Structure 1
Amino acid sequence: MILDYMTNLENYEKLLPKMDIYQEHISKLHELPVGRYELGEGEFFSIQEGTTRPLEGAQFEFHEQYIDLQIMLEGSEQMKWQHLNQVEKLKFDKDSDVGFATGEGTLMDIQPGMFYLVYPHDAHMPGLYVAEENYFKKAVFKLKS
């Protein structure tokens, strides 16, 4: 898992070989309405907005085929992370490439201008609040691992 500011995204170019393709879209994220956008070769991104959900009762999610690149555009969220081998897996749906798990983890504040990368070995719980709900707008890239 990587958490950083968008101003440093280019430092991760070796981890994201198609960075030039992603950058074309990243530069226009603030202009795009909510929806799904195809990148080709099975990769895509979506613009999402809403309000955060309570930490209590939330579950981790994880993926086997995709890396998530999540970019906070407006508002904020808290995100909980844990290594996949430290959580209890509940179920996994191969068709949608999403699984769910429970367990303890580290809670992080995600502010506008920040991004995080989560890999198949990362369980993550995005879109949370602890004290009070917040508005958020973010881009979620699904990139082949």
Structure 2
Amino acid sequence: MSRLLYENSVSYKGYLIIPFVFGKLDNYEIYSYKLLSEVGHTSQFHKAENPAGIYGSNVSNIVDIAKEYIDKNSEFVNRKDNFKSRYIYRKNLIIISQEGDKYFYDHYPPELLNNIAAPKLFKSEYECLSWIKQGLNGEHLHQRTI
């Protein structure tokens, strides 16, 4: 599998559709997708790879296939867009979440959907993003209590 194309991800009805190049056939790329669910592991589609089993010829085509599958098979009604604060830095996906006055993040590397975030809380989205960027840049920070 090639890297996940986070920069082409689409938030849709409580899911994040993440395309990737599945393979090549006669110099044409074949696209597939993975899903993240806003309800996490309670969803059978959280971290699922192409549950529709249909592949596409380009990014927009595979996103449409995923949306159609979600429309027909969604397990819940979307409450809010938990994926609206997402960023790509050095091909890594960072999703910032807020509960009350605290911020935290999920961090997914370019090749797989394994959350490698540190269990840390922040006072602002900016502080959270700064800490992540420093970590991805190889800078080491002293642990601070927030």
Larger proportion of strand: 1
State the TM-score bracket (shorter-chain normalisation): under 0.3
TM-score using structure 2 length: 0.23
Larger proportion of helix: 2
TM-score using structure 1 length: 0.23
